Amino acid sequence: MKHLIYAAIACAGVTLFAGAAQSVELKVLSGNGSRPAVIELARQFEQATGHKVAVEFFVNPTVKKMVEEGAAFDVTVLNPPVLDDLVKQGFVRGDTRAVIGRIGLGAAIKAGLPRPDISTVEGFRKLLLSSKTVAYPGDGASGIYFVGLVERMGIAAEMKSRLKPMPGEYNVEVVADGGADLVVVVASRIYGVKGVDMIGLIPPELQTWIGFATGVGAKARQPEAALALTKFLTAPDAAKVLVPMGIEPGKE
């Protein structure tokens, strides 16, 4: 753990501040898919620097809209295409853009239930058709992809009444609470949610990759600390946090 902290701080080019007066608070706007990783890495960054990190999570389109409408932020974590559009518009500094990693879609059920085999297309199809209610992010990139995937699989008619679009902050938790039999979402979003069991990634033939990238706001109030945070999130040793969550570091 100490190795992770010191390596990332050295990479960021910052020093540890002993005095509370020297610490700052950073505001981060992040997409939901990277939630567990951002929370943990932000916690470690706080320990290492004495800075505070306040993170707000929304689906990517909501974050994009907030930024375009003038929301204040120091750092953002988004899917690469969304982040790149904000760079083009001048809301995020292009010279600070850095890739955190990527992950595929996964499926989860209520904890304690038998875990079906979804390693094949037929196995995944069988699970979907046997589920009374399937939750997914209603507005996120993974949810949009999943709805299209159901159509490509030829089961849209059968699944129409079973699909349950959910807000980004509650799509996995609804399974734990018994409001859905199954959730299909960016796999990292499942990590750490109590009351659910990860079945696994959906079959490779059906898979898509969701990337996570970060950048400093063009009007960041704390640009130096913000840059240090983006470097911390993307430092090589961040893999110790990312890989156990299923995230492939450095790939988008």
Q: Where are the domains of the chain?
A: 2-102+211-249, 103-206
Question: Has domain 2-102+211-249 been given CATH number 1.20.120.160?
Answer: no
pLDDT over 70 percentage in the chain: 92
What is the model's pLDDT at position 31? 94
Q: Is the dihedral of CA 54, 56, 60, 66 positive or negative?
A: negative
Instruction: Tell me if 2-102+211-249 shares its fold with 103-206.
Output: yes
What is the model's pLDDT at position 141? 84
CATH number of 103-206: 3.40.190.10
Residue 230: pLDDT band with limits 50, 70, 90: very high
| Among 27, 26, 32, residue whose Cα is nearest residue 58 | 32
Q: Are 183 and 175 in contact (CB under 8 A)?
A: yes
C-beta neighbour count of 235 within 10 angstroms? 20
C-beta neighbour count of 152 within 10 angstroms? 10
| Among 70, 40, 31, 42, residue whose Cα is nearest residue 213 | 31
Q: Are 239 and 9 in contact (CB under 8 A)?
A: no
What would the pLDDT profile of 39-73 be if each residue is shown by its tens digit?
A: 999 999 999 999 999 999 998 999 999 999 999 99
What would the pLDDT profile of 115-147 be if each residue is shown by its tens digit?
A: 999 999 999 999 999 999 999 999 888 899 999
Average pLDDT score, the chain? 92
| Among 41, 61, 79, 33, residue whose Cα is nearest residue 190 | 33
